[in-house]
Amino acid sequence: MIKVGIVGGTGYTGAELLRLLAGHREVAVTTLTSRKEAGLRADHLFPSLRGHCDAVFSAPDEAALAACDAVFFATPHGTAMQMAPALVEAGVKVIDLSADFRLKDAAEFKRWYQLDHTAPALLEEAVYGLPEVNRHAISNARVIGNPGCYPTAVQLGFLPLLEAGLIDASQLIADCKSGVSGAGREARVTSLFCEAGDNFRAYSVPGHRHLPEIQQGLRVAADGPVSLTFVPHLTPMIRGIHATLYARLTQPGVDLQALFESRYRGEPFVDVLPAGDHPETRSVRGGNQCRIAVHLAPDGQTVVVLSVIDNLVKGASGQAIQCFNLMFGLPETAGLDAPGMTP
C-alpha cells in the first residue's frame, strides 16, 4: 500500500480526497491533519465516510508526514510552500491543491497572493498538474502544483483552439460560474445560505487571482501572448463550475467538433459532447470528468465553448489523485472511476 498523508483534512477538498481515496485500492491514508479537530475521527465530522475510513485527525507533525510516500496539501495558500521542502528532501512526493506551486514567476505569486515565496527552488522544479497537457512531466515530478478550479475548466475549453492557432488570442473571454463550495468550508459571510441562496452575482471583476494562472497556461498553448477577460460569478449551487468561453475564429470553415474530438480522443476525463449539445454541471457532480461542448455562434465567427467540471473533483481533489496515479505509475483512473451523479 502507498502511505498517504493529507494536510487539511477538515476542509472540503480534504474531505473529498478522503471520499475518493476510500475507493482507491492502492492507498492507505496514514496521516490526516487538522489543528482544530485533532483527536476526532474523520467519519465523526463527515458521517458519509462511516464504514469507509478509520482515519483520526492529528495536529500537523513533520515526522509523521515525512514517513508517508505522498502528501496532499488541502490547505490555504502559504502552508505548502513552508512544509514541502523538508518533505521532498525526505523523499516524499508532494501534491499541493493550493496555489503555492502554480505560478512559475515568484514575483507574480507575490503580486496576486501578497506573500513572498519561501521555496523558490521547489517552485521552479514543480510541475503544473494538468494531465491533459503535462502528463509525462507529472509522471516524473516530485512536486505538483495542482490547478485551480476555474483554471481547469477554462484551459481545457480553450486548449484545442489555441494549440491549433485558430482563434485571436488577444480577445479571449471566460464567463464563469461557481458553486459555493469553491470558497471552502471556512465560515464567511458571502457563503451564508441567506447571502448566496436565491442570488447570483459576479465578483473580482478588476482581477481574480486565477487570471495569471489561466493566462500562464494559455500562453503555452498559444505559443505566444494571450489576453483574457475573466469574470467569475457565484451561483446558488453547492458544487460545479460552468465556464462559457468566447473567441473569434481567424479562419473560416473549421470543423470545430472534429478538432475537439481529436484533441481529447483517449483522454479518460475529458468528454466532448455531440455537436449541438449543452453540458450540465449536474452531470459531473462527484465525478472527475470535464464535459465540453463547442458551438459556432450565428455570426459564423465567434466560437462558444461550454466547459463544466465539479470544482471539488476535476477542479481539485480528483485531479490531484489523477496526478498521484501518474506519479506512482498506477492506472490514471484508479479511484476515479465513478461517473457524475444524476440528479
Ligand X SMILES: CC(=O)N[C@@H](CCC(=O)OP(=O)(O)O)C(=O)O
Ligand Y SMILES: NC(=O)C1=CN([C@@H]2O[C@H](COP(=O)(O)OP(=O)(O)OC[C@H]3O[C@@H](n4cnc5c(N)ncnc54)[C@H](OP(=O)(O)O)[C@@H]3O)[C@@H](O)[C@H]2O)C=CC1
Among 6, 84, 130, 149, binds ligand X (CB under 6 A): 149
CB 267 within 8 A of CB 130: no
From the candidates 68, 149, 176, 290, which is the catalytic residue? 149
Q: How far is the CB of 316 from ligand Y (least distance, A)?
A: 4
Nearer to ligand Y, 9 or 232 (CB): 9
Residue 172: which of ligand Y, ligand X, none does it interact with, CB under 5 to 8 A by kind?
none
Residue 306 CA to residue 329 CA, distance in Å, equals 32
- Is residue 149 part of the annotated active site? The answer reads yes
145 binds ligand Y (CB under 6 A): no
Amino acid at 246: Y
Q: How far is the CB of 285 from ligand X (least distance, A)?
A: 16
Order of all β-strands in the sheet with 172-178: 201-202, 228-234, 172-178, 241-248, 302-309, 290-296, 270-272
| DSSP type of residue 301 | S
18 binds ligand X (CB under 6 A): no
What residues between 169 and 198 interact with ligand X by CB under 6 A? 178, 182-183
CB 55 within 8 A of CB 9: yes
User: What's the grid cell of residue 201?
Assistant: 452575482
One symbol per residue from 74 to 113: x for binding ligand X (CB under 6 A), - otherwise; what is it?
A: ------------------------xx--------------
Residue 78 CA to residue 110 CA, distance in Å, equals 11
77 binds ligand Y (CB under 6 A): yes
What is the enclosing helix (H) or strand (E) of 149?
A: helix 149-163
Total of chain residues touching ligand Y, rule CB under 6 A? 31
Residues interacting with ligand X, by CB under 6 A? Answer: 98-99, 148-149, 178, 182-183, 209, 232, 234
Active site residues: 149
